[in-house]
A and B are shown apart, each in its own frame.
Chain A
Amino acid sequence: MITTIPQSAPFKWSYRLYVTLFFLYLALPLVTVCVFAFNDSVFPSLPWDGFTWDWFFGTEAPRIGVFHERPILRAIVTSGVVAFWVSGLSVIVGTCNAFLFVRHDFAGKNFLYILMLLPLIIPGIILGISILVFSSSIANALEEATGLWFDGLRPGLLLVILGQFSFITTFATLVISARLQKFDTSLEEAALNLGATKWGAIRQVTLPFLFPAMLAAAVVAVLMSFENFNTTLMLVGSDAPLTVTMFDRLKLGSTPVLNAVSLLLIIVSALLGLLSLVLKR
């Protein structure tokens, strides 16, 4: 079943048909979402009532477009703030982890490595509730002891950021480690040999080499943070990020403004995703 092995024509054609159907299956929901962003109807469903830009630029209820819909704009800003912090933190910690796991040998390294991978296989919703339970019990204990309020430890943006950070860091670590492993340490040795200090060598030689991977990890982190739902749902307070806001709308049934938001998300995600791939090269 490789190109050099002759196969019967019906087999080849049915295989191709299968792969084509598969890609149709992949594209179908996304295309549907995008198409209905332009339907001139208050429901994102058939019949098709003609083409409109209202769900992007509309200003009057019920046809308020994305760009004039306050709650959604606010949710996008919230998501952006969360994504910024998550991506920054996870890249910093991920870079440290990469140096630790690639460059150092120490007792318990394997154990820590496995522990580091665990967030990949812990369901997101459980990460969410465990952090919720833990932070609340700390808040309770602190409030009892001091009599002060510790709102930061109650559901809210700080917890959302920590919750997302807790598993996105694993991805950042893997992406950055992969690049660091390819680094030829003799380059660093050459820098030391030419009189650089240890830190100077890392700063001038190793970090520039790692930079594309760090940027890729940051982009991946932004993507994952933007689209995260399970962990966020358990930790969210009054300021809801975009996915949670959309989820609430979706449960109630909504106008095609959601399709318009989705279309924008698809475009931005695809661009960011491609960017991360280019950077990882």
Chain B
Amino acid sequence: MSDIPDLECRAVSKSYDDFQAVQDVSFSVPKGTFFSILGPSGCGKTTLLRMIAGFQNPTGGDLLIKGKSVLEVPPNKRPVSMVFQHLALFPMMNIGANVGFGLRQLGVNKTDIKAQVERVLERVGLGGVAERSVSSLSGGQKQRVAIARCMVLEPSVLLLDEPLGALDLKLREHMKVELKKLQSEFNTTFVYITHDQSEALVMSDQIAVMNKGAFEQIGTAKDLYYQPQTAFVAGFVGEANKYTAKVEAAAANGLHLVTRDGVHLRGVDTGDRLGQGDTAQVFVRPEAIRLSRKSADMDQMANTGAGQVESVLFNGANSQLILRDARTGSELNVALPQTAEFRDLTKGDQIHFGWEADQTRCYRQGT
């Protein structure tokens, strides 16, 4: 339709007296995107979201919604709505009054409000509950009411502040799918913040990984997982075995590194232009590591080794092995393939392992 993004942040910063909560964050979210901001607690993501909603003022930069700066627009006039962490449903009103709150503020007449409230409640699968009290709903239903309360206003952007955090694990899994479905149904731009990577990976079209007030990387879930651009992203998104190693030789086809324990590793430079003598952080995903009972199977691998099974963490398809490297005594996390070959592995068994050089991602050691 148009290329004006629904939401655009230009070098947004927020600093307090002695602390920079958000620094120079820039991104834009095209219409209809499910955009997640993923980061550990205290990384500044909540501050960023609250600045977009208007509850905090940036100390620098600009915020644009549909191409217009909203810095001077108070929160009650901004075309964004927010689903709060604990939902903030009004306990003093019934469900219909909650959902109709925004429309009442706009002065919509009563019959229209009633019709619109009923329609949006039906869209979230809660038709006919308008007269009931908020407390009569289950956690997942409250979630949907909170979304309906925002969506009835047809906001340009819907902000979601870790709304799944308070739910139990099973419901959370279910709501992930549901939220994604609702988003594509309403075709509204969602900006979702979370510290839970699986929430972000499952639901998002675009994810920004945030750390210490700044964005580390913006990309699709696959980008972040397979091509993490910084050591933080490699460590934060998904699981990884981590080494610290010194670059022995840097060549066009890869790096040769040696860890402090003397293990030789072959890996690829991720763009940090590592040179001989540099210290690097090295990440290897557990599922990139192949296992075999015969060392000959590993001949083709760039990195190989042997070790003893420390423990088997059985978790169905996500089962893992913890190995102790025979040479260095360090622990190694390996995804356990659920095939007949390894089903009888137990503690103490000897096993060979190996992985390719391009699965060994190297980053310059942070200063």
Contact = CB atoms under 8 A, between A and B. Distances in A.
Q: Is the interface of B mostly helix, strand, loop or mixed?
A: loop
Contacts of A4: 50, 55-56
A4 B55 CA distance: 5
Q: Is the interface of A mostly helix, strand, loop or mixed?
A: loop
B74 A5 contact: yes
A247 to B, nearest CB: 45
Contacts of B75: 5-6
B216 to A, nearest CB: 27
A25 to B, nearest CB: 32
Interface string A1-38: 00011100000000000000000000000000000000
Interface in B36-79: 50, 54-57, 74-75
Contacts of B55: 4-5
Contacts of A6: 54, 57, 74-75
Interface residues of A, number: 3
Contacts of A5: 55, 74-75
Nearest to B50: A4
A179 to B, nearest CB: 28
B: contact size bracket: under 10
A5 B54 CA distance: 8
Contacts of B56: 4
A5 B56 CA distance: 8
Nearest to B57: A6
B142 to A, nearest CB: 23
Nearest to A7: B74
Nearest to A5: B75
A4 B46 CA distance: 13
Contacts of B74: 5-6
B162 to A, nearest CB: 18
Contacts of B54: 6
B46 to A, nearest CB: 12
A4 B14 CA distance: 14
A4 B75 CA distance: 10
Nearest to B75: A5
Contacts of B57: 6
B50 to A, nearest CB: 7
Most chain A C-beta atoms within 10 Å of own C-beta, residue among B55, B56, B57: B55
A4 B54 CA distance: 8
A11 to B, nearest CB: 12
Nearest to B55: A4
Contacts of B50: 4
Nearest to A4: B55
A5 B75 CA distance: 7
Nearest to A2: B55
A89 to B, nearest CB: 41
B339 to A, nearest CB: 50
Nearest to B54: A6
A235 to B, nearest CB: 45
A9 to B, nearest CB: 14
Nearest to A3: B55
A5 B50 CA distance: 11
A6 to B, nearest CB: 6
Nearest to A8: B74
A229 to B, nearest CB: 39
B58 to A, nearest CB: 13
B105 to A, nearest CB: 14
Which 10 pairs of residues, A with B, have the shortest CB-CB distance? A4-B55, A6-B74, A4-B56, A5-B75, A5-B55, A4-B50, A6-B57, A5-B74, A6-B54, A6-B75
8 contacts: A4-B55, A4-B56, A5-B55, A5-B74, A6-B54, A6-B57, A6-B74, A6-B75
Given A5-B55, A6-B57, A6-B74, 6 more contacts: A4-B50, A4-B55, A4-B56, A5-B75, A6-B54, A6-B75
